[in-house]
């Protein structure tokens, strides 16, 4: 059944982090990884979304720029990297790109910043 669902998602052009071997993690897991393992959170949303509120300590690289800016993340290759967007779709694509670029400890924030906010975890704004 999962193969059928994943096949349909692929036909529709929707990428699933699970389908590409990138592990989805909950906001609580991401928060713990950031605190305990010094995980890097990469926010791939657009600048206006970032400015409205983002996770403290996150690095902002919009999805459309990630391929050209991946070298900015090489210093963190030995640490877990968590990709994050609004709902988890764009960040799943970013996670796939990082995996293809050779990063091995890549995770996708399941539900994105929406889930982070729903879990009542702290964000900051750029203003």
Catalytic residues: 85
Q: How far apart are CA 127 and CA 5, in angstroms?
A: 41
Q: How far apart are CA 77 and CA 84, in angstroms?
A: 17
Handedness of CA 12, 22, 53, 123 (dihedral sign): positive
Quickly list H helices, the chain. Answer: 2-11, 27-36, 47-52, 66-69, 89-100, 112-118
Q: How far apart are CA 61 and CA 11, in angstroms?
A: 27
């Amino acid at each position: 059944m999962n193969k059928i669902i994943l096949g349909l998602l692929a036909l529709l052009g929707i990428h699933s982090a699970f389908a590409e071997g990138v592990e989805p993690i909950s906001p609580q897991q991401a928060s713990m990884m950031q605190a305990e393992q010094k995980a890097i959170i990469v926010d791939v949303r657009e600048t206006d979304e970032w400015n409205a509120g983002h996770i403290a300590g996150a690095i902002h690289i919009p999805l459309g720029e990630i391929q050209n800016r991946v070298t900015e993340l090489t210093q963190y290759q030995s640490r877990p990297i968590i990709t994050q967007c609004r709902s988890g779709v764009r960040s799943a694509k970013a996670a796939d790109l990082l995996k293809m670029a050779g990063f091995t400890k890549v995770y996708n924030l399941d539900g994105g910043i929406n889930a982070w906010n729903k879990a009542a975890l702290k964000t900051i704004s750029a203003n």
